[in-house]
Amino acid sequence: MSDNNKLWAGRFQEPIDAFVEAFTASVEFDKRLAPFDIQGSIAHAQMLARQGIISAAEKDSIVAGLSQIAERIQRGEFTWSIAREDVHMNIEAALTEAIGEAGKKLHTGRSRNDQVATDVRLWLREEIGLIRAELMRLQTALLDSAEAEADTLMPGFTHLQTAQPISFGHHLLAWFEMLERDRERLADCLKRVNILPLGAAALAGTSYPIDRVYVAERLGFERPAENSLDAVSDRDFAIEFAAAASILMMHLSRMSEELIIWSSAQFGFIELSDSFCTGSSIMPQKKNPDVPELVRGKSGRVFGHLMGLLTLMKGQPLAYNKDNQEDKEPLFDTADTLRGCLKVFADMIPAISPRRETMRAAALKGFATATDLADYLVRQGLAFRDAHEVVGKAVALGVASGRDLAEIPLAELQPFSPLIGADVYTVLSLEGSLAARDHIGGTAPRQVREAIQRARQRLELN
Protein backbone atom coordinates (compact mmCIF):
# COMPACT_ATOMS: atom_id res chain seq x y z
CA MET A 1 0.00 0.00 0.00
CA SER A 2 1.16 3.57 -0.71
CA ASP A 3 2.70 5.67 2.05
CA ASN A 4 -0.43 7.78 1.71
CA ASN A 5 -2.11 5.09 3.90
CA LYS A 6 -5.44 5.35 2.10
CA LEU A 7 -7.25 2.36 0.65
CA TRP A 8 -7.60 4.34 -2.59
CA ALA A 9 -4.09 5.90 -2.53
CA GLY A 10 -2.51 4.11 -5.51
CA ARG A 11 -3.27 6.97 -7.92
CA PHE A 12 -1.83 9.69 -5.64
CA GLN A 13 1.76 10.84 -5.16
CA GLU A 14 1.23 13.34 -2.33
CA PRO A 15 -0.58 12.93 0.98
CA ILE A 16 -3.89 14.67 1.38
CA ASP A 17 -3.87 18.06 3.10
CA ALA A 18 -4.67 17.70 6.82
CA PHE A 19 -7.54 20.18 6.75
CA VAL A 20 -8.98 18.65 3.58
CA GLU A 21 -8.79 15.24 5.23
CA ALA A 22 -10.88 16.46 8.18
CA PHE A 23 -13.16 18.56 5.97
CA THR A 24 -14.07 15.67 3.67
CA ALA A 25 -14.34 12.98 6.34
CA SER A 26 -17.84 11.81 7.28
CA VAL A 27 -17.07 9.17 9.89
CA GLU A 28 -18.12 11.38 12.82
CA PHE A 29 -21.74 11.20 11.68
CA ASP A 30 -22.01 8.22 9.33
CA LYS A 31 -20.61 5.78 11.91
CA ARG A 32 -24.21 5.31 13.07
CA LEU A 33 -24.63 3.33 9.84
CA ALA A 34 -22.11 0.72 11.05
CA PRO A 35 -24.61 -2.07 11.89
CA PHE A 36 -26.20 -1.70 8.47
CA ASP A 37 -22.84 -1.47 6.69
CA ILE A 38 -21.82 -4.75 8.30
CA GLN A 39 -25.20 -6.32 7.50
CA GLY A 40 -24.82 -5.37 3.84
CA SER A 41 -21.20 -6.51 3.72
CA ILE A 42 -22.05 -9.93 5.11
CA ALA A 43 -24.75 -10.43 2.48
CA HIS A 44 -22.33 -9.24 -0.23
CA ALA A 45 -19.64 -11.69 0.95
CA GLN A 46 -22.13 -14.56 1.01
CA MET A 47 -23.15 -13.74 -2.55
CA LEU A 48 -19.52 -13.54 -3.72
CA ALA A 49 -18.86 -17.01 -2.34
CA ARG A 50 -22.09 -18.40 -3.76
CA GLN A 51 -21.06 -17.12 -7.19
CA GLY A 52 -17.53 -18.55 -6.88
CA ILE A 53 -15.91 -15.09 -6.86
CA ILE A 54 -14.31 -15.75 -3.48
CA SER A 55 -13.84 -19.07 -1.68
CA ALA A 56 -16.10 -20.41 1.03
CA ALA A 57 -13.20 -20.18 3.48
CA GLU A 58 -12.65 -16.52 2.61
CA LYS A 59 -16.35 -15.86 3.06
CA ASP A 60 -16.37 -17.54 6.47
CA SER A 61 -13.34 -15.52 7.53
CA ILE A 62 -14.97 -12.27 6.36
CA VAL A 63 -18.28 -13.01 8.09
CA ALA A 64 -16.54 -13.95 11.34
CA GLY A 65 -14.35 -10.85 11.20
CA LEU A 66 -17.29 -8.53 10.51
CA SER A 67 -19.29 -10.11 13.32
CA GLN A 68 -16.42 -9.48 15.75
CA ILE A 69 -16.17 -5.86 14.58
CA ALA A 70 -19.92 -5.45 15.11
CA GLU A 71 -19.53 -6.67 18.69
CA ARG A 72 -16.63 -4.27 19.31
CA ILE A 73 -18.68 -1.37 17.98
CA GLN A 74 -21.65 -2.34 20.13
CA ARG A 75 -19.42 -2.49 23.23
CA GLY A 76 -17.90 0.90 22.39
CA GLU A 77 -14.44 -0.62 21.92
CA PHE A 78 -13.97 0.25 18.24
CA THR A 79 -11.63 3.14 17.41
CA TRP A 80 -12.92 5.38 14.64
CA SER A 81 -10.37 7.22 12.53
CA ILE A 82 -10.91 10.38 10.49
CA ALA A 83 -7.93 9.32 8.40
CA ARG A 84 -10.07 6.45 7.15
CA GLU A 85 -12.72 8.92 6.05
CA ASP A 86 -16.00 7.13 6.59
CA VAL A 87 -17.76 4.21 8.21
CA HIS A 88 -17.09 1.93 5.24
CA MET A 89 -13.32 2.42 5.09
CA ASN A 90 -12.99 2.20 8.87
CA ILE A 91 -14.71 -1.17 8.94
CA GLU A 92 -12.93 -2.51 5.87
CA ALA A 93 -9.51 -1.47 7.21
CA ALA A 94 -10.28 -3.04 10.58
CA LEU A 95 -11.41 -6.23 8.84
CA THR A 96 -8.21 -6.45 6.81
CA GLU A 97 -6.13 -5.88 9.94
CA ALA A 98 -8.04 -8.68 11.67
CA ILE A 99 -8.18 -11.38 8.98
CA GLY A 100 -5.53 -10.39 6.45
CA GLU A 101 -5.74 -10.87 2.68
CA ALA A 102 -9.35 -12.10 2.66
CA GLY A 103 -10.45 -8.74 4.01
CA LYS A 104 -9.18 -7.02 0.88
CA LYS A 105 -11.48 -9.17 -1.26
CA LEU A 106 -14.71 -7.99 0.40
CA HIS A 107 -14.96 -4.93 -1.83
CA THR A 108 -14.91 -7.01 -5.01
CA GLY A 109 -17.83 -6.12 -7.28
CA ARG A 110 -18.99 -3.07 -5.33
CA SER A 111 -18.15 0.58 -4.70
CA ARG A 112 -18.65 2.91 -1.78
CA ASN A 113 -21.29 4.54 -4.01
CA ASP A 114 -23.67 1.59 -3.99
CA GLN A 115 -22.53 0.59 -0.51
CA VAL A 116 -23.56 3.86 1.14
CA ALA A 117 -26.84 3.99 -0.77
CA THR A 118 -27.60 0.51 0.56
CA ASP A 119 -26.61 1.39 4.12
CA VAL A 120 -28.83 4.48 4.17
CA ARG A 121 -31.79 2.54 2.83
CA LEU A 122 -31.31 -0.21 5.41
CA TRP A 123 -31.09 2.39 8.19
CA LEU A 124 -34.09 4.37 6.96
CA ARG A 125 -36.17 1.23 6.57
CA GLU A 126 -35.62 0.46 10.25
CA GLU A 127 -36.25 4.07 11.28
CA ILE A 128 -39.58 4.18 9.47
CA GLY A 129 -40.64 1.07 11.38
CA LEU A 130 -39.69 2.68 14.71
CA ILE A 131 -41.41 5.94 13.78
CA ARG A 132 -44.61 4.20 12.74
CA ALA A 133 -44.63 2.30 16.05
CA GLU A 134 -44.44 5.59 17.99
CA LEU A 135 -47.08 7.06 15.72
CA MET A 136 -49.43 4.17 16.45
CA ARG A 137 -48.81 4.62 20.17
CA LEU A 138 -49.85 8.27 19.87
CA GLN A 139 -52.91 7.34 17.81
CA THR A 140 -53.95 4.78 20.43
CA ALA A 141 -53.62 7.41 23.16
CA LEU A 142 -55.85 9.75 21.15
CA LEU A 143 -58.49 7.03 20.69
CA ASP A 144 -58.48 6.26 24.41
CA SER A 145 -58.93 9.94 25.26
CA ALA A 146 -61.59 10.40 22.58
CA GLU A 147 -63.56 7.47 23.96
CA ALA A 148 -63.49 8.99 27.45
CA GLU A 149 -64.60 12.39 26.10
CA ALA A 150 -67.19 11.36 23.50
CA ASP A 151 -69.94 13.22 25.42
CA THR A 152 -67.82 16.20 26.46
CA LEU A 153 -69.09 19.43 24.90
CA MET A 154 -66.80 22.13 23.56
CA PRO A 155 -67.10 24.91 20.99
CA GLY A 156 -65.91 24.09 17.50
CA PHE A 157 -64.15 26.98 15.79
CA THR A 158 -63.65 28.47 12.37
CA HIS A 159 -61.40 31.54 12.14
CA LEU A 160 -60.88 30.89 15.88
CA GLN A 161 -64.44 32.14 16.36
CA THR A 162 -67.14 30.00 17.98
CA ALA A 163 -68.90 28.12 15.19
CA GLN A 164 -70.89 25.09 16.39
CA PRO A 165 -70.90 22.78 19.42
CA ILE A 166 -68.83 19.64 18.99
CA SER A 167 -67.71 16.72 21.10
CA PHE A 168 -64.19 16.96 22.53
CA GLY A 169 -63.80 13.33 21.50
CA HIS A 170 -64.73 14.31 17.95
CA HIS A 171 -62.00 16.95 17.95
CA LEU A 172 -59.42 14.39 19.13
CA LEU A 173 -60.52 12.08 16.31
CA ALA A 174 -59.69 14.84 13.82
CA TRP A 175 -56.12 14.68 15.10
CA PHE A 176 -56.20 10.89 14.75
CA GLU A 177 -57.23 11.13 11.09
CA MET A 178 -54.39 13.55 10.31
CA LEU A 179 -51.92 11.11 11.83
CA GLU A 180 -53.51 8.15 10.06
CA ARG A 181 -52.75 9.76 6.70
CA ASP A 182 -49.20 10.36 7.93
CA ARG A 183 -48.91 6.69 8.81
CA GLU A 184 -50.10 5.76 5.33
CA ARG A 185 -47.61 8.16 3.75
CA LEU A 186 -44.75 6.56 5.66
CA ALA A 187 -45.89 3.09 4.61
CA ASP A 188 -46.03 4.22 0.99
CA CYS A 189 -42.61 5.87 1.26
CA LEU A 190 -41.22 2.57 2.55
CA LYS A 191 -42.05 0.93 -0.79
CA ARG A 192 -39.53 3.17 -2.55
CA VAL A 193 -36.97 2.95 0.24
CA ASN A 194 -36.95 -0.85 0.13
CA ILE A 195 -35.08 -1.21 -3.17
CA LEU A 196 -31.51 -2.55 -3.30
CA PRO A 197 -28.74 -0.37 -4.86
CA LEU A 198 -25.93 -2.85 -4.12
CA GLY A 199 -24.49 -4.26 -7.32
CA ALA A 200 -24.68 -0.95 -9.15
CA ALA A 201 -21.03 -0.50 -8.10
CA ALA A 202 -19.63 2.95 -8.89
CA LEU A 203 -22.21 3.76 -11.58
CA ALA A 204 -22.23 1.17 -14.37
CA GLY A 205 -22.55 -2.15 -12.59
CA THR A 206 -19.74 -4.70 -12.39
CA SER A 207 -18.12 -7.22 -14.70
CA TYR A 208 -18.24 -9.93 -12.01
CA PRO A 209 -21.06 -12.50 -12.23
CA ILE A 210 -22.95 -11.19 -9.19
CA ASP A 211 -26.47 -12.19 -8.12
CA ARG A 212 -28.32 -9.04 -7.03
CA VAL A 213 -31.62 -10.84 -6.52
CA TYR A 214 -29.96 -13.11 -3.97
CA VAL A 215 -28.54 -10.12 -2.08
CA ALA A 216 -31.92 -8.37 -2.15
CA GLU A 217 -33.54 -11.46 -0.64
CA ARG A 218 -30.84 -11.80 2.03
CA LEU A 219 -31.30 -8.17 3.08
CA GLY A 220 -35.09 -8.16 2.86
CA PHE A 221 -35.34 -5.74 -0.05
CA GLU A 222 -38.30 -5.94 -2.39
CA ARG A 223 -36.09 -6.02 -5.49
CA PRO A 224 -32.79 -4.70 -6.90
CA ALA A 225 -32.74 -1.23 -8.44
CA GLU A 226 -33.26 -1.43 -12.20
CA ASN A 227 -30.69 1.17 -13.28
CA SER A 228 -27.17 1.42 -11.92
CA LEU A 229 -26.79 5.17 -12.55
CA ASP A 230 -30.03 5.94 -10.74
CA ALA A 231 -29.28 3.50 -7.93
CA VAL A 232 -26.11 5.25 -6.76
CA SER A 233 -26.97 8.87 -7.49
CA ASP A 234 -30.51 9.69 -6.43
CA ARG A 235 -31.70 10.43 -2.93
CA ASP A 236 -35.35 10.97 -3.75
CA PHE A 237 -36.30 8.26 -1.25
CA ALA A 238 -34.68 10.37 1.49
CA ILE A 239 -36.41 13.51 0.22
CA GLU A 240 -39.74 11.68 0.17
CA PHE A 241 -39.21 10.61 3.78
CA ALA A 242 -38.32 14.18 4.74
CA ALA A 243 -41.49 15.38 3.00
CA ALA A 244 -43.65 12.85 4.85
CA ALA A 245 -41.89 13.80 8.09
CA SER A 246 -42.53 17.49 7.40
CA ILE A 247 -46.25 16.92 6.90
CA LEU A 248 -46.38 14.87 10.09
CA MET A 249 -44.51 17.60 11.98
CA MET A 250 -46.93 20.17 10.57
CA HIS A 251 -49.78 18.15 12.08
CA LEU A 252 -47.99 17.87 15.42
CA SER A 253 -47.40 21.62 15.30
CA ARG A 254 -51.11 22.30 14.75
CA MET A 255 -51.95 20.00 17.63
CA SER A 256 -49.36 21.79 19.76
CA GLU A 257 -50.87 25.17 18.94
CA GLU A 258 -54.28 24.03 20.12
CA LEU A 259 -52.88 22.56 23.32
CA ILE A 260 -51.05 25.82 24.00
CA ILE A 261 -54.21 27.87 23.44
CA TRP A 262 -56.46 25.52 25.38
CA SER A 263 -54.13 25.47 28.39
CA SER A 264 -53.97 29.27 28.60
CA ALA A 265 -55.83 31.16 31.32
CA GLN A 266 -57.90 32.83 28.62
CA PHE A 267 -59.30 29.47 27.45
CA GLY A 268 -58.73 27.08 30.33
CA PHE A 269 -60.10 24.09 28.40
CA ILE A 270 -57.40 21.67 29.59
CA GLU A 271 -54.75 21.21 32.24
CA LEU A 272 -51.41 19.92 31.03
CA SER A 273 -49.61 17.63 33.43
CA ASP A 274 -46.79 19.25 35.38
CA SER A 275 -44.51 16.59 33.87
CA PHE A 276 -44.74 18.31 30.48
CA CYS A 277 -44.50 21.94 31.61
CA THR A 278 -41.90 24.25 33.16
CA GLY A 279 -42.04 27.36 35.30
CA SER A 280 -40.69 30.87 35.01
CA SER A 281 -37.45 32.09 36.57
CA ILE A 282 -39.11 35.37 37.56
CA MET A 283 -42.90 34.82 37.64
CA PRO A 284 -43.80 32.18 40.23
CA GLN A 285 -47.37 31.75 38.97
CA LYS A 286 -46.35 30.63 35.49
CA LYS A 287 -46.85 27.13 34.12
CA ASN A 288 -45.46 27.14 30.61
CA PRO A 289 -46.50 24.54 27.99
CA ASP A 290 -42.90 24.01 26.94
CA VAL A 291 -43.31 20.56 25.39
CA PRO A 292 -45.94 21.54 22.78
CA GLU A 293 -44.12 24.83 22.21
CA LEU A 294 -40.87 23.00 21.50
CA VAL A 295 -42.57 20.51 19.19
CA ARG A 296 -44.12 23.45 17.35
CA GLY A 297 -40.64 24.95 17.01
CA LYS A 298 -39.03 21.70 15.87
CA SER A 299 -41.40 21.57 12.91
CA GLY A 300 -39.35 24.41 11.35
CA ARG A 301 -36.19 22.38 11.85
CA VAL A 302 -37.62 19.43 9.93
CA PHE A 303 -39.03 21.68 7.18
CA GLY A 304 -35.53 23.13 6.81
CA HIS A 305 -34.03 19.67 6.33
CA LEU A 306 -36.52 18.97 3.54
CA MET A 307 -35.52 22.15 1.74
CA GLY A 308 -31.85 21.36 2.33
CA LEU A 309 -32.17 17.92 0.74
CA LEU A 310 -34.09 19.26 -2.24
CA THR A 311 -31.44 21.94 -2.76
CA LEU A 312 -28.65 19.38 -2.35
CA MET A 313 -29.98 17.26 -5.21
CA LYS A 314 -31.33 19.85 -7.64
CA GLY A 315 -28.08 20.61 -9.51
CA GLN A 316 -26.35 17.24 -9.55
CA PRO A 317 -25.52 15.55 -12.86
CA LEU A 318 -25.55 11.76 -13.01
CA ALA A 319 -24.12 9.79 -11.35
CA TYR A 320 -22.67 9.99 -7.83
CA ASN A 321 -21.17 13.26 -6.53
CA LYS A 322 -19.50 14.11 -3.24
CA ASP A 323 -22.44 16.45 -2.55
CA ASN A 324 -24.37 13.39 -1.46
CA GLN A 325 -22.26 13.12 1.67
CA GLU A 326 -24.40 16.02 2.90
CA ASP A 327 -27.60 13.95 2.82
CA LYS A 328 -26.97 12.08 6.06
CA GLU A 329 -26.94 14.71 8.79
CA PRO A 330 -30.28 16.28 7.80
CA LEU A 331 -31.79 12.85 7.24
CA PHE A 332 -30.54 11.53 10.59
CA ASP A 333 -31.75 14.63 12.41
CA THR A 334 -35.15 14.48 10.72
CA ALA A 335 -35.71 10.94 11.92
CA ASP A 336 -34.38 11.64 15.42
CA THR A 337 -36.48 14.79 15.79
CA LEU A 338 -39.63 13.16 14.48
CA ARG A 339 -39.31 10.10 16.69
CA GLY A 340 -38.66 12.26 19.76
CA CYS A 341 -41.67 14.47 19.09
CA LEU A 342 -43.95 11.47 18.59
CA LYS A 343 -42.69 9.84 21.80
CA VAL A 344 -43.29 12.91 23.94
CA PHE A 345 -46.75 13.44 22.43
CA ALA A 346 -47.72 9.81 23.00
CA ASP A 347 -46.67 10.21 26.65
CA MET A 348 -48.35 13.61 27.06
CA ILE A 349 -51.83 12.98 25.60
CA PRO A 350 -52.99 10.55 28.34
CA ALA A 351 -51.81 13.06 30.97
CA ILE A 352 -54.08 15.87 29.73
CA SER A 353 -57.00 16.71 32.03
CA PRO A 354 -60.01 18.29 30.27
CA ARG A 355 -61.95 21.00 32.12
CA ARG A 356 -65.37 19.91 31.00
CA GLU A 357 -67.46 22.64 32.63
CA THR A 358 -65.22 25.37 31.22
CA MET A 359 -65.52 23.91 27.72
CA ARG A 360 -69.30 23.62 28.05
CA ALA A 361 -69.59 27.20 29.25
CA ALA A 362 -67.48 28.36 26.30
CA ALA A 363 -69.79 26.49 23.91
CA LEU A 364 -72.72 28.52 25.27
CA LYS A 365 -71.04 31.72 24.09
CA GLY A 366 -70.99 32.95 20.52
CA PHE A 367 -74.40 31.62 19.39
CA ALA A 368 -73.05 28.17 18.59
CA THR A 369 -76.52 26.77 17.83
CA ALA A 370 -77.44 29.43 15.25
CA THR A 371 -77.11 26.94 12.40
CA ASP A 372 -79.41 24.57 14.27
CA LEU A 373 -82.08 27.26 14.33
CA ALA A 374 -81.68 27.78 10.58
CA ASP A 375 -81.98 24.03 9.97
CA TYR A 376 -85.09 23.98 12.19
CA LEU A 377 -86.73 26.66 10.03
CA VAL A 378 -85.82 24.81 6.82
CA ARG A 379 -87.52 21.70 8.19
CA GLN A 380 -90.61 23.90 8.73
CA GLY A 381 -90.61 24.75 5.01
CA LEU A 382 -88.57 27.97 4.85
CA ALA A 383 -85.87 28.28 2.19
CA PHE A 384 -82.37 28.14 3.69
CA ARG A 385 -81.37 31.64 2.55
CA ASP A 386 -84.50 33.08 4.14
CA ALA A 387 -83.86 31.04 7.26
CA HIS A 388 -80.30 32.39 7.33
CA GLU A 389 -81.66 35.96 7.34
CA VAL A 390 -84.17 35.19 10.13
CA VAL A 391 -81.49 33.68 12.33
CA GLY A 392 -79.15 36.59 11.64
CA LYS A 393 -81.79 38.96 13.01
CA ALA A 394 -82.32 36.75 16.06
CA VAL A 395 -78.56 36.70 16.69
CA ALA A 396 -78.46 40.49 16.42
CA LEU A 397 -81.11 40.66 19.15
CA GLY A 398 -79.04 38.31 21.28
CA VAL A 399 -75.91 40.42 20.79
CA ALA A 400 -77.78 43.59 21.70
CA SER A 401 -79.36 42.06 24.80
CA GLY A 402 -76.41 39.93 25.93
CA ARG A 403 -78.34 36.64 25.67
CA ASP A 404 -77.73 33.37 23.87
CA LEU A 405 -80.46 32.17 21.47
CA ALA A 406 -81.61 29.56 23.97
CA GLU A 407 -82.12 32.36 26.53
CA ILE A 408 -84.42 34.48 24.34
CA PRO A 409 -88.12 33.90 25.13
CA LEU A 410 -90.40 32.48 22.45
CA ALA A 411 -92.41 35.70 22.35
CA GLU A 412 -89.29 37.58 21.23
CA LEU A 413 -88.25 34.97 18.66
CA GLN A 414 -91.62 34.51 16.90
CA PRO A 415 -91.73 38.02 15.39
CA PHE A 416 -88.77 36.98 13.25
CA SER A 417 -90.75 34.01 11.86
CA PRO A 418 -94.15 32.52 12.75
CA LEU A 419 -92.63 29.10 12.02
CA ILE A 420 -90.76 29.19 15.31
CA GLY A 421 -92.59 27.09 17.87
CA ALA A 422 -92.08 26.03 21.47
CA ASP A 423 -90.16 22.97 20.33
CA VAL A 424 -87.35 25.20 19.06
CA TYR A 425 -85.54 25.03 22.40
CA THR A 426 -84.81 21.36 21.84
CA VAL A 427 -82.60 22.21 18.88
CA LEU A 428 -81.13 25.27 20.58
CA SER A 429 -79.63 23.19 23.39
CA LEU A 430 -75.99 22.14 23.13
CA GLU A 431 -76.84 18.48 23.65
CA GLY A 432 -79.55 18.63 20.99
CA SER A 433 -77.17 20.26 18.52
CA LEU A 434 -74.55 17.59 19.15
CA ALA A 435 -76.97 14.65 18.88
CA ALA A 436 -78.49 15.99 15.65
CA ARG A 437 -75.27 15.41 13.66
CA ASP A 438 -75.82 11.68 13.70
CA HIS A 439 -74.10 10.44 10.53
CA ILE A 440 -70.70 9.01 9.62
CA GLY A 441 -68.12 11.70 10.31
CA GLY A 442 -70.54 13.69 12.47
CA THR A 443 -70.00 14.86 16.03
CA ALA A 444 -72.90 13.01 17.66
CA PRO A 445 -71.51 10.98 20.58
CA ARG A 446 -72.90 7.76 19.09
CA GLN A 447 -71.03 8.43 15.86
CA VAL A 448 -67.86 9.34 17.75
CA ARG A 449 -67.89 5.97 19.53
CA GLU A 450 -68.49 4.08 16.29
CA ALA A 451 -65.69 6.03 14.59
CA ILE A 452 -63.35 5.06 17.43
CA GLN A 453 -64.12 1.38 16.91
CA ARG A 454 -63.44 1.66 13.17
CA ALA A 455 -60.21 3.50 13.90
CA ARG A 456 -59.04 0.77 16.28
CA GLN A 457 -59.69 -1.81 13.58
CA ARG A 458 -57.57 0.19 11.12
CA LEU A 459 -54.69 0.23 13.59
CA GLU A 460 -54.97 -3.52 14.11
CA LEU A 461 -54.80 -4.15 10.36
CA ASN A 462 -51.56 -2.19 9.99
CA distances from 312 to 27, 282, 327 (A): 20, 44, 8
Closest CA to 254 of 177, 189, 162: 177
Rounded Cα–Cα distance for residues 287 and 272 (Å): 9
Q: Is 88 a catalytic residue?
A: no
Active-site position among 159, 207, 353, 439: 159
Active-site position among 2, 67, 264, 280: 280
Phi, psi of 315 (to 5 degrees): -110, 10
Contact 198, 115 (CB under 8 A): yes
Q: What is the DSSP string of 45-90?
A: HHHHHHTTSS-HHHHHHHHHHHHHHHHHHHHT-PPP-GGG-SHHHH
Give the largest Cα separation in the chain, rounded: 102
CA distances from 327 to 172, 226, 237 (A): 36, 22, 11
Closest CA to 368 of 121, 155, 159, 149: 155
Give the three-class secondary structure for 278: strand
Contact 64, 129 (CB under 8 A): no
Contact 377, 417 (CB under 8 A): yes
Q: Is 159 a catalytic residue?
A: yes
Q: Which residues are catalytic?
A: 159, 280
